[in-house]
Structure 1
Amino acid sequence: MKLEPIINDNITLANSEIKKIVERVINSAKIAAEKVAVEENFHPLERSFEDIFKSRFGEYSKDKQETIRRSLKPIYTADKAIRTRLYGDLGAIDVKAMESVEHEVTKLPKLKIDPRLLGIWTPSPASDISQPEVERMRSTQPQILNSHNILTSDALLGGGRVFTDLQGEFDHDDFEPQAVTDKLALYVRRVKCVDETNPEWWGSDEVSVAGTSVDETGDTKKINEHFVGGGFDDGDSRWYNPNWRFHWFSMREGDSWPKSYYITMILAEKDNGGLAAFLQKLWEKVESQVKDAVAAYVGGLIGSSFGPLGTLIGAAVGYAVAKIVDWFIEAWNDDIFPPRTVSCTVPSFGARWTISGVWGSTTSGIRRSHFYGHGGHYYIEYYWKLYA
């Protein structure tokens, strides 16, 4: 059976039960940010949502802070009925009196969650996975096991200046279908500036990339910030030769298949100092909140061999952070590139990709993850690789 790893470049959230949990976390973040913006002298609890947002708010100019405060105050002071329409059951929280939205949420009635609808099931050993099982995976978790949409055309590459002496060559593997591969990595081939951030007349962009990862058991790791380079103008590229191994996973953890791996890429323009660190803290906080909430319904299954649950959590966190960042862009007028979460689901150690019609490649096709924000457009060109 020729099984293929399945890549997802656009994480969505179709599971009804995890969505209930995630919406509560998203609304918690919004309420915390609202509190920080409106109450000028508020002192948040350490490591709370409010603490994370207070740090970011403090990086704004006084004029910008006041503008945000004026725009959010009518919502902050609205009656319970209006706030309930905006924030669901969290609208009942006395936002003026609260110390931390997280503490207030624990006082609310538990959500009505059916653990069975979280998709918990005991997968077969890798050697027993059949094509009907793969098709069942596709039908029960379409938000994760989607079609490929692989980008391979060299005609789409090029434009702008190259910041290295040689353009990075695609790290192909010469098709090794018999190799025992127990590691998975995401490699970056280049970072391209399609459109410089505004105002373009002010100067060229300086760009860095950071991130976070979730493995098949739900473990989260921080991917340290990496300075890509300065002098980015429209059309410029930073090529990596050899290609940059952004992050890797051991596939020896857990004892069930399929195994899903998530990477959230955070791109920041250095003029917005501290942005990557802020987004990392936000991501880690959301991950903690989602995992704790799910644990209340399924207990010890988190971090166990039940891979699909870890997969759902990874998808949920990426979805939640993207929604929170979208809110920030609108409510705080923050110059943020919304982070992008990508995933790779591996059905067995023997899985390989089909390239140019031939199955057996341990390297995927070239992918692109696009970042849009504050008048700019960048993309990161990457691929996944299985290796020993």
Structure 2
Amino acid sequence: MSDIIVNRLADIDPQVADLAEPIVQRWTAAMTRVAAAHKQQGFMPNPPVNGSIEDILAKRFNDPAFPQVKRDRAADEAIRFAASPFLKRRTGLTAADLQSSTPVDQLVGLPTARLTRQQLSAMVDNRPGIPNFGGGVAAALPGTLRSLDLEIIRVVCIDETNGPFGTERGQDEIYIGGVALNSEVEVGKVGPTKMGDFDDIGSRRQKDFNPDLRLYSHDLTKDTVFPSSYFVTLVMFEKDQGNLNDTVNEIVNKVKDDAITYLSALIGTGTGSLAGPLGALVGLAVGYIVGKVIKGLVSAWEDDPFLPVTIEVHVPSSSANAGGPPSKVMNFTGPGEYAVRYQWKLRKIQGGFAPA
């Protein structure tokens, strides 16, 4: 039996980034539009279409917890950006486009050229440490595994979140949530789950979970193909950040929905059974796009979310072993910094866990 492989996504294939860029452009255009409308009428449909990118971002921009001084600065910068040639280069749009009543979902089109089997495999195969799908997957055989569990072992506060004027807020009430995707492009919700109350000094600096805290569980008995990759994009938030958590969760879910629709259409039905590579492509793209969007909020609006983290686990078969190392650490940075030690566990149908 083969072991599972755990991976923390960082760099992705440039082809995947190029493919995902049009969705990033939509969010960049919407950030500009929402901020500019704060000081100059006509920059956004009023009211924005429910569930649109503009609607998601406007709820955050107009949240009372988002400081007025940041709104004003973001609006001034957005108006300057909209009047510059950089808008066209970054989004493909003009200021006149942003001042129309058309949502950015319709203003920024997505490529329609079909991907071949070879192109798809080239984007998701040959990643360091992850075996190739070999162009496809095989039907699952009866196995010994019941579930794949993501567990939190320890959370350490390296630097608590900042309050007004760069001062520390006091005690952080920290949560983690997110979205999970598997190779069959099935979606699962992660949390949000409270990690605890933290300070960067004293007894509240570190929390060890005993037993380990199960953050997410996937039923492996329902999977129909292996090998399979599972991607989890996680977001950390502090309770005092207003509706920032709701905004980030809406961003993740909107990006996930758009990526699935867009990339599935590029694959079509003529390329055979590509559930494994297609699911991996969607998982990679969602992690990349969400990261770019959140970084855009930090840069353009001076907002202070934690940067999201995407992790992957590759399960070669329905009877795989857990393998090693037993645990890894992911770091969340932004208004503060936290280190989170986690592990994947394979729960067996007959009880207990698959050996490491």
Match of 1:76 in 2: 82
- Residue 341 of structure 2 is aligned to residue 381 of structure 1: yes
Q: Give the Cα separation in 2 of the matches to 1:326 and 1:144.
A: 27
Of 199, 203, 221 in structure 1, the residue corresponding to residue 170 of structure 2 is: 203
Gapped regions of structure 2 (runs ≥ 5): 132-142, 349-356
Distance 1:24 1:278, change over 3 A: same
- Which segment is superposed worse, 29-38 or 267-276? 267-276
Match of 1:271 in 2: 240
What's the offset of the Cα at 1:192?
A: 1.0
Of 180, 188, 197 in structure 2, the residue corresponding to residue 230 of structure 1 is: 197
Match of 1:368 in 2: 329
What's the offset of the Cα at 1:335?
A: 0.8
Match of 1:114 in 2: 115
Distance 1:386 1:38, change over 3 A: same
Match of 1:47 in 2: 51
Match of 2:126 in 1: 141
What's the offset of the Cα at 1:74?
A: 1.0
Q: Aligned AA for 1:57?
A: F
TM-score by length of 1: 0.76
TM-score by length of 2: 0.83
Whether the 8 Å CA contact 1:44–1:99 is kept in 2: the answer is no
Of 289, 298, 301 in structure 1, the residue corresponding to residue 267 of structure 2 is: 298
- Residue 71 of structure 2 is aligned to residue 65 of structure 1: yes
Q: Aligned AA for 2:259?
A: V
Deviations 1:45-71 (A, max 9, x none): 000000000011012232221111011
Deviations 1:82-109 (A, max 9, x none): 323223x456981111431001234x7x
Q: Aligned AA for 1:33?
A: M
Gapped regions of structure 1 (runs ≥ 5): 121-136, 147-178, 356-363
Whether the 8 Å CA contact 1:11–1:144 is kept in 2: the answer is no
Match of 2:277 in 1: 308
What's the offset of the Cα at 1:264?
A: 1.6
Query: What SS does structure 1 have at the residue aligned with 2:221?
Result: coil
RMSD: 2.7
What's the offset of the Cα at 1:215?
A: 2.0
What's the offset of the Cα at 1:255?
A: 2.8
Distance 1:105 1:301, change over 3 A: farther
Match of 2:12 in 1: 13
Runs of 4+ in 1 over 3 A off after TM superposition: 89-93, 110-114, 199-202
Query: What SS does structure 1 have at the residue aligned with 2:56?
Result: helix
Q: Aligned AA for 1:210?
A: G
Match of 1:99 in 2: 102
Query: What SS does structure 2 have at the residue aligned with 1:119?
Result: helix
What's the offset of the Cα at 1:229?
A: 2.2
- Residue 215 of structure 2 is aligned to residue 246 of structure 1: yes
Match of 1:129 in 2: none
- Residue 24 of structure 2 is aligned to residue 32 of structure 1: no
